[in-house]
Amino acid sequence: MEATNRRLLLIINPISGLGSKETFEPLVRKTLEPIGYEVKTVYTCARGDATRLARQAVKEGYYGVLAAGGDGTVNETARALCHTDTILGIIPCGSGNGLARHLGIPIDPASAVRIIAEGHVTESDFGAVNGRPFFCTFGVGFDAAVSSNFARQHRRGPLTYIRSTIAEYIKFHPQVYTVSANGHVLTEKAFLIAVCNASQYGNNAYIAPRASITDGELDITIIHAGNPLDTAMVGMDLFTGYINQNTLIHSFRAPAAVIYRQQTGPAHLDGEPLTIDDTMEIKCHPAGLRIFTPEQEVVFRPLITPIENAARDIACSVTRLFNRK
Ligand SMILES: Nc1ncnc2c1ncn2[C@@H]1O[C@H](COP(=O)(O)OP(=O)(O)OP(=O)(O)O)[C@@H](O)[C@H]1O
């Protein structure tokens, strides 16, 4: 908990997730200033702001940059901190919060700030596709279609994710991909291909339950194209942690991979949609980012961990409901 006049930049994305972020600045100051941190707060106004602000903080020698938002804000902030000494802090308040959930950072803001106060730092891997960094998941196929649909919605939050998922499922057509990794080449018609640094998309949807951010490798999950009932079963397994046992799944670990498809098309990077080339060169960068995390690493147990996390989410929502003015 020791800090001596170390500067932190708090970057708040006001539109991430649901609800007001007004209480964040006083909360961060109240918790971190008494233990010697100096906090400056900035709000993002548009896409890309967090990267610009975090880059400036690195130049000015800030000790840490705290991203208050979802995976998109975390990505924009973290990409400026890769291979620097500046530490990333996460105050999750987005719609999915995949990286924070993977790391065991609580969704309750006061508890998340306490993790930063405790000062434990993990040297985390990150992935990059055609040079663009991702910290949680990169994907092509159905998940890319969902993130593109979600980005077009006016309202954010987990319920909007459910609506976007159903809307895209009805009209989705799987594509053929070739994946080259670990000396093997595989050509498949796939529902989606997810390349994961962390275990989940967000909202406790475990696309790569065994993923670790400190193993120097990425977990690649291919969901083969199947009939609608089989695919729906995969959807259920996503939330129990048993997805790797589903017969539609092929998963493996690799430090690097190349994915080919017939043409340039949609993809997502930590849940943010983008258009990417037909050839996707993917690489893991071991220990390239410093993050404030809980000291105890989360050990994933199928069914148990998802139930524990769902119970924690419900408790957090109920507390928020009662604390509402
Ligand atoms: N003031 C702003 N107005 C509009 N968009 C913004 C603003 N500030 C940041 N953004 C953009 O908002 C997008 C969504 O942010 P973020 O991903 O953090 O929230 P989310 O999508 O609700 O959560 P998650 O990614 O966990 O699902 C990002 O692309 C970010 O660049």
Number of domains composing the chain: 2
- For residue 166, give the amino acid letter: I
Alpha helix (H) ranges present in the chain? 24-32, 49-59, 71-81, 98-103, 109-118, 142-151, 158-171, 228-238, 304-323
Distance 87 CA to ligand 1 centre (A): 21
**Ligand 1 pocket, mutate which of 16, 49, 148 (most atoms under 8 A from CB):** 16
Does the residue 137 lie in any domain?
yes
- As for the ipTM of the complex, it is 0.97
N-term to C-term CA, the chain = 32
Does the residue 1 lie in any domain?
no
Residues 191 and 179 placed together within one structural domain of the fold: yes
Residues 207 and 277 placed together within one structural domain of the fold: yes
Residues 140 and 161 placed together within one structural domain of the fold: yes
**Ligand 1 pocket, mutate which of 13, 24, 44, 165 (most atoms under 8 A from CB):** 13
Q: Is the pLDDT of residue 321 over 80?
A: no
Closest CA to 117 of 11, 28, 42: 28
pTM to 2 decimals?
A: 0.94
- What range defines the domain where residue 117 resides? 6-125+287-323
Q: Is the pLDDT of residue 35 over 90?
A: yes
User: pLDDT by residue (tens digit) across 71-104?
Assistant: 999 999 999 999 999 999 999 999 899 999 999 9
Ligand 1: atom nearest CA of 69 is 18
Distance 15 CA to ligand 1 centre (A): 6
Residues 145 and 256 placed together within one structural domain of the fold: yes
Residues 252 and 221 placed together within one structural domain of the fold: yes
Q: What is the mean pLDDT of the chain?
A: 94
C-beta 73 within 6 A of ligand 1: yes
CATH number of the domain residue 13 falls in: 3.40.50.10330
Distance 107 CA to ligand 1 centre (A): 17
Q: Whose CA is nearest to atom 3 of ligand 1?
A: 46
Residues paired with residue 267 on neighbouring β-strands, in sequence order: 274
